[in-house]
Structure 1
Amino acid sequence: MIQEIIESKLSEAFNPDHLSVVNESYMHNVPAGSESHFKVVIVSEKFAGARLIARHRQVNQVLADELANHIHALSMHTYTGAEWQEQNQLAPDSPMCLGGSK
C-alpha cells in the first residue's frame, strides 16, 4: 500500500520518464511484510539544472506525509534523461543492513 502511494505521488509530481520504487524492507531487521525502507529511482526533466540536494528536497516535499508517518528510510537516485543514459540506465544497488540482527 505505501509503495503504491509513493509511486502515485511521484508519478503525478514529476511525470517521470522512468520510475522504480522498490520495497527494501526485507534487507533490514523489521517484521516480514513491512513497508518501511524504500529505494526510489526517478528520471525526470524536472530535475534539470537542480543540484542533488534540491532534487532530494523536491522528492521529500512530495512524500512529506509518508516520511513523517510510514517510511523509516528512503534511498533516492534522481536523474535527468541525459544523466540516466550516462548511467547506462542503472542505479547503484543498496547495501544490506548492518544493524539489528542482520
Structure 2
Amino acid sequence: MELIAEIQQRLAVLEPESLDVHDDSAAHAGHAGAASGGGHFELTVVSAVFTGQTALARHRRIYNLLADLIPSRIHALQIRALTPDEF
C-alpha cells in the first residue's frame, strides 16, 4: 500500500472533516536523517474529535496511530491538528 494511502487509512478513525497529507520528501533528498528511506510529510487533520484537547494531546493521538511507521517509513512529520471551528 502506498504510504500516503496508509496514513489516510489509519487517520480515518479520527473521522476527519478534512485530511491533507503532503509528501515533502523530494525537498529533503540527501538529508542525513532520511538516508534510511524515511519520508518527510506535512499533515493537516481537521476533526471534531480534537475539541477540548490540547495541541500536545492531538499530536500524541496522531503519533500513536502512526507509531510503527516512525522512523522507518516516516522520518519527519509536520502536524496541523485542528477542530472544525479552528479550520
TM-score class, shorter-chain normalisation, is 0.7 to 0.9
Q: Which has the higher contact order (CA 8 A, sep 6+)?
A: 2
Confirm or deny: 8 A CA contact 2:17 2:84 kept in the other structure.
yes
**Moved runs in structure 1, 4+ residues, more than 2 A?**
none
Question: Unaligned 5+ residue runs, structure 1?
Answer: 85-102
Confirm or deny: 8 A CA contact 1:17 1:44 kept in the other structure.
yes
Larger Rg over CA atoms: 1
Question: Unaligned 5+ residue runs, structure 2?
Answer: none
Q: Taking structure 2 as the reference length, what is the TM-score of the superposition?
A: 0.86
Confirm or deny: 8 A CA contact 2:20 2:44 kept in the other structure.
yes
Match of 2:7, as an amino acid?
I
- Superposition deviation, residue 29 in structure 1: 2.2
1:9 is aligned to 10
Say how many residue pairs are matched. 81
- Post-superposition Cα deviations, 1:41-96, rounded to whole Å, max 9, x if no partner, equal 00001100000010000000000111142110000000000000xxxxxxxxxxxx
What value does the CA root-mean-square deviation take over the aligned residues? 1.6
